[in-house]
Amino acid sequence: MGRSPCCEKAHTNKGAWTPEEDARLIAHTRAHGEGGWRSLPRAAGLLRCGKSCRLRWINYLRPDVKRGNFSEEEDELIIKLHSSLGSKWSLIARRLPGRTDNEIKNYWNTYIKKKLLKRGLDHQFHRRLCSPHNSNTTHSSRSAPEHQIPAFQSPRTPEIADFFQYELSGCSPIEPAASKDEEHPDINLDLCISLPLHSTTAANKASSVDGTVDSKSYYDHGVCCQIGLQVNYGGC
DNA sequence: AAGAGATTCAACCGCGAGAAC
DNA sequence: GGTTCTCGCGGTTGAATCTCT
């Protein structure tokens, strides 16, 4: 048995969207609002899968989508957020107004990975590579054996304090690297989390059994878990 | 100028989670 | 409480474009 297909594949278009299809989707979404993706294609007269419509709207047609190059500040913010959240592109995108998860994911894979490697940092774990010839640390996630994955892989870390020490140094505790000032003396990357004083129950709810905190849970429960980041240039 | 290889990025796929029934 | 439906997410693909030789 299994899951029923999300749409009638035989009667759906695939591939690049035409201007006519875009216009239909925009008109329908303006008239009826976002959502109801499953029934939208038929209602809007589109021969598309509902998932395809949703993706097209969210990534390209939504009026608040920001197109164009990423700024240096956005670069640094993405790197920082990736180091704490991992490949949670949707969470990262929520902190970059106008950017979509797909766009950030593509940008990461095409540009930031290389940028980090240029700096001598592992793009996956944000730790300093031992040497440019150390193939272990440059393996992609597909080829890296489980036992080679360092302790800090997931955003959930056993010790919050250690987590932030790690974060601010930008490298593995075992293998201390130059301070951030040495690499980017003009950038002030101050990372802080502030928990709402009045939301202890929700905070408890969002804590896992072992006492670590799931940032997504905070977000989803409407609790304000703020990761504040300052990217300052010119010593401001 | 042309072909090959590399890069980019829009779109697709499969799965998990939560809601609805 | 179990099943089905819907949405959203992350990983992957492949056509288009760019760069190199």
Question: What count of other Cβ atoms lies within 10 Å of the Cβ of residue A163?
Answer: 19
Q: Which residue is nearest to nucleotide B15 (CA to C1')?
A: A3
> What Å value separates CA A54 and C1' B2?
41
Whether the CB of A60 is less than 7 Å away from nucleic strand B comes out as: yes
Give me the A residues in range 27-86 that sit within 7 A (CB) of strand C: 35-39, 50-51, 54
State how far the alpha carbon of A132 is from the alpha carbons of A119, A122, A129, A136, A150, in Å. 10, 10, 7, 10, 18
Question: Is there a domain that residue A141 lies in?
Answer: no
DSSP-derived 3-state class of residue A120:
coil
How does strand A226-230 pair with strand A190-194? antiparallel
> What Å value separates CA A119 and C1' B4?
30
Q: Which positions on strand B lie below 7 Å from a protein C-beta?
A: 7-15
Structural domains in chain A (count):
2
Token pair for A86: 């991992």
**Whether residues A49 and A164 fall in one domain:** no
In angstroms, the CA A64 to CA A155 distance is: 29
CATH of the domain at A29: 1.10.10.60
Token pair for A15: 């591939």
- Domain extent, residue A204, equals 72-136+153-230
Question: Is there a domain that residue A4 lies in?
Answer: no
Note down pLDDT in tens along chain A; length 236 residues: 334 456 665 577 888 899 999 999 999 988 888 888 888 888 888 889 888 998 999 888 988 888 778 888 888 888 888 888 888 888 888 888 889 989 998 888 888 878 777 767 666 655 665 544 443 333 333 333 333 333 333 333 333 333 333 333 433 333 333 333 333 333 333 433 333 333 333 333 333 333 333 333 333 333 333 334 444 433 33
Give me the A residues in range 8-37 that sit within 7 A (CB) of strand C: 15, 35-37
Q: Comparing C-alpha atoms, which of A103, A112, A111, A56 is closest to residue A83?
A: A112
Whether the CB of A4 is less than 7 Å away from nucleic strand C comes out as: yes
**Whether residues A53 and A124 fall in one domain:** no
**Whether residues A118 and A223 fall in one domain:** yes
Whether the CB of A18 is less than 7 Å away from nucleic strand B comes out as: no
